């Protein structure tokens, strides 16, 4: 699907990252890809990402701090030098300080809010601005989000606000870049056990409820998200932009628990079965 295509993937943390699965599928489908890693003096961040992408024959692996204009400039200059024009870009980046993520939204600090919104939402705008200089007409930008940007998900808190901003940015960027025939879309993935997910309180409970309520009766995984990403990155989706595709086994369409969920939850709740 991506034969003779090239692109950039930003945001791999380790081999459990959704971006890692996307990278693997891009490679298997013929794409040549360059990667970013978080800059740090110890070299640990580079080493983590290197372990993931080394088997995928990366065109380059360079540091990039999306909250630094100078770092973005240097990264995309390297991308241009190494790859020339590209066909796609994947933005899989989000962060909120742990103390602000785990407190009630009303207790979010001003500084925590700034950091979360800048890193998780503005970074897409900043990255798209640099990428447009090397994206070919027909190119695709893809970012990753979660249902907590559309609805209140207990425990998602500040990150839900950041994802709502990210999803709005997708739509506005789709209009800004549409005249250059560059598409911008997002995938709203169901809960997947990644490094980022470990910061969310009661994540295991969230996964269990999702699996019970989803029409397919299970949770999605990174491989399924990666396969849907291929569609949005390839020419098969040439008429799709500004879209938020849900890859969550249908959980987002459900307004109330399916038949049998309440009974199941009651049986597993000791306080309900043994008053």
Active site residues: 146, 156
Output DSSP code: residue 219: -
**Per DSSP, which regions of 16-168 are E strands?**
32-37, 61-63, 86-91, 135-145
Retrieve residue 226's tokens. 């990666």
Q: Comparing C-alpha atoms, which of 174, 204, 201 is closest to residue 186?
A: 174
Q: What would the DSSP string read from start to end of 209-229?
A: HHHHHSTTSS---HHHHHHHH
The CA distance from 84 to 96, in Å, is 33
Strand partners, 35: 9, 61
Q: Comparing C-alpha atoms, which of 251, 139, 257, 243 is closest to residue 189?
A: 251
Q: Find where tokens 């930003």 sit.
A: 10
Given a contact cutoff of 8 angstroms between Cβ atoms, the answer to whether 53 and 35 are in contact is yes
């Amino acid at each position: 699907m991506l034969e003779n295509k090239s692109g950039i993937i930003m945001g791999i943390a380790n081999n459990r990252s959704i971006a890692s699965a996307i990278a693997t599928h891009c490679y298997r489908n013929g794409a040549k890809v360059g990667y970013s890693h978080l800059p740090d003096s110890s070299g640990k961040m580079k080493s983590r990402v290197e372990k993931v992408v080394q088997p995928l024959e990366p065109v380059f692996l360079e540091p990039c701090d999306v909250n630094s204009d100078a770092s973005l400039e240097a990264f995309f200059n390297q991308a241009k030098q190494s790859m020339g024009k590209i066909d796609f870009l994947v933005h899989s980046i989000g962060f909120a300080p742990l103390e602000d993520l785990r407190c009630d939204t009303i207790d979010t600090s001003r500084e925590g809010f700034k950091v979360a919104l800048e890193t998780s939402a503005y970074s897409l705008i900043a990255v798209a601005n640099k990428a447009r200089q090397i994206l070919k007409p027909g190119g695709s930008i893809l970012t990753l989000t979660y249902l907590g940007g559309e609805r209140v998900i207990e425990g998602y808190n500040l990150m839900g606000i950041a994802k709502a901003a990210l999803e709005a940015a997708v739509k506005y960027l789709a209009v800004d870049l549409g005249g250059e025939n560059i598409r911008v879309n997002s995938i709203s993935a169901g809960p997947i056990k990644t490094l980022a997910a470990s910061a969310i309180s009661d994540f295991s409970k969230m996964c269990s409820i999702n699996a019970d309520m989803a029409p397919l009766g299970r949770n999605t995984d990174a491989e399924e998200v990666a396969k849907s990403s291929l569609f949005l990155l390839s020419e098969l989706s040439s008429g799709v932009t500004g879209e938020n595709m849900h890859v969550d086994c249908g959980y987002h369409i459900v307004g109330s628990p399916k038949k049998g969920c309440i009974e199941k939850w009651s049986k597993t709740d000791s306080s309900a079965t043994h008053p």
